[in-house]
Amino acid sequence: MNRTLTAAALALILTSGAHAADLIVDVDQSVVAPVDLRLFDWSGAYVGGHIGYVSGQQSDNLPPLPEGGKDPLPQFPVEDQSGAWLGGLHAGYNWQSGGFVYGLEGDVDFTGLKRGKNFNTYNGNISLGGSLFMESDVQASLRARAGLAIDSWLLYGAAGIAVARAEVSVVGNPNSITYPLVSDTNTHVGWTIGAGIETAFSPNWIGRVEARYTDFGAQAYDLGAFGEAVESRWRQTSVNLGLSYKF
């Protein structure tokens, strides 16, 4: 009888141990190894959004005062500083060779950039005084990027073409001959250059800080009140923060 009980107890212990071993194996198989971001692969496509601040400088070539004119206001050209918040979307593709990362990126920004300045000039013997201002609501760029990857960090530079839609308007004031609001819209095409730093928070999410300088060049605007086109040149500097999803 004792031998029978002892054998049964031993069999129960062995069976329980086998089940316990199975449970241990199952638990071990369910553990997911942490991702090592030191081995982050920057190659592939990505999309994202960004917000930032842009400071622009606009210059115009309004006709100067005639020789001997008595108006004390400064002559043109003038340069206006302006600033506004911006927000936009970006998308691109990276290739990686060792620690060298290169790729292409396109973006579109929406902003309320607007700046004006009072003036007083002449068209023949007619005094024209008022306000001239420029505003832009959308701009875009296509840039080549290249940089150095250090674990989950990427230091990069970028350069390419930039385009923007702008409107230049002029309106008279009570101190001169009255004329209605006159405006003209044009598209500027120029170049942009910048640099930034990115860091990977996970295999898919990447944050960035970027600074850029853009020269949109000069375009002529037909503002009939002056009898000739007004040429406006536009340059700007921007800083933005962004978040991208890498596929």
Closest CA to 98 of 36, 157, 156, 42: 42
Helix (H, G, I), strand (E, B) or coil at 164: strand
Tens of pLDDT, residues 122-172: 666 666 677 778 888 999 999 999 999 998 999 999 999 999 999 988 777
User: Measured between alpha carbons, how far is 31 from 27 in angstroms, rounded to an integer?
Assistant: 7
Pair 110, 87: CB distance under 8 Å:
yes
Residue type, 34: P
Q: What are phi and psi of 76, to 5 degrees?
A: -90, 165
Residue 23 has pLDDT above 90, yes or no: no
Tens of pLDDT, residues 85-130: 999 999 999 999 999 999 999 999 999 888 777 776 666 666 667 7
User: Measured between alpha carbons, how far is 14 from 19 in angstroms, rounded to an integer?
Assistant: 9
Is residue 77 reached through a cis peptide bond, with omega within 30 degrees of 0 on the bond before it? yes
CB atoms within 10 A of CB 27: 9
User: What was the pLDDT predicted at 21?
Assistant: 45
Tens of pLDDT, residues 186-207: 999 999 999 999 999 999 999 9
* Contacts (Cβ under 8 Å, ≥6 apart) of 79: 57, 58, 59
- Tell me what percent of the residues of the chain surpass a pLDDT of 70: 67
Pair 146, 157: CB distance under 8 Å:
yes
User: What was the pLDDT predicted at 125?
Assistant: 65
Q: What is the DSSP string of 3-33?
A: HHHHHHHHHHHHHHHHHHHHHHHHHHHHPPP
